[in-house]
Structure 1
Amino acid sequence: MIRPLASLTLVLVLATPVRAQQIFNFDAVAAAPTSHQVLLENESVRVLRVTIEPGATEPVHDHAWPSIMYFEKAQAITYISYELKNGLPVEARRIDAPAETLTGAVSSPPEGLHAVQNRGTETFTALRVEFKPQ
């Protein structure tokens, strides 16, 4: 009985540093694929359809490139920003935005770690055009 327990302890001790040093891919398509569908991608742009169901919060992700976001069906949202601490995302701030403020198109520089919660009663939908460096 002691031998299996010792083996388990050794495995846990050896695995811990690897897990702590793990590097995560926070790109929107990799980290939040349910809410970010690629409609078009080439060497210049990536076009995403962003959908978030009512009451849902998408996973933490980022956008490495400048972009334009066009709101198709805005809903009240909470924008949650994150910071990395010891390699893991930690919530830093929440901003509530009513649906009325999310109209038309907005431009954005590269966007750090964040998640969006749909507080509305319908699906939030938007198009995001990301501009890759040339």
Structure 2
Amino acid sequence: MSCRIRKAAPAPAGAARCTVTVCRGRCCGPPKIPGLDHSQQLARLRERLAGQAQVRVSGCLDACEHANIIVIQPSAEGRKAGGRPVWLGLVNDEDATADITAWIEAGGPGLADPPGVLDLYAFSPSRRIRRPLEG
């Protein structure tokens, strides 16, 4: 055991903001959902949430029956207020994408209630699936 006092590591960039993880694995994307412009969906999320949330792309999140999947992780403030990651599936239209951005602009999980229609997209993945994102 060390007696040395350690300084807290600086928070990673974007840690104080919500994080939006967009699945683009084997089933989320053009092969399975051909009617949606996947590149445009990602570009709109990044454009609308610039400076408000970190938007990142993930490989397969292993809940393919819910393609396309977007996971909203709360900001540090949202987590302190009780917010937890929210998994949204079947996000295959522009209206759902707009509702997601509006929710995050209002504060996201823990700080603002999601637009009512997003309840229809929410699902609970198994612990095995959600563990890597929440850790």
Q: TM-score, normalised by structure 1?
A: 0.28
**Structure with larger Rg:** 1
Flag the structure with higher helix content: 2
Flag the structure with higher strand content: 1
Higher relative contact order (CA 8 A, sep 6+): 1
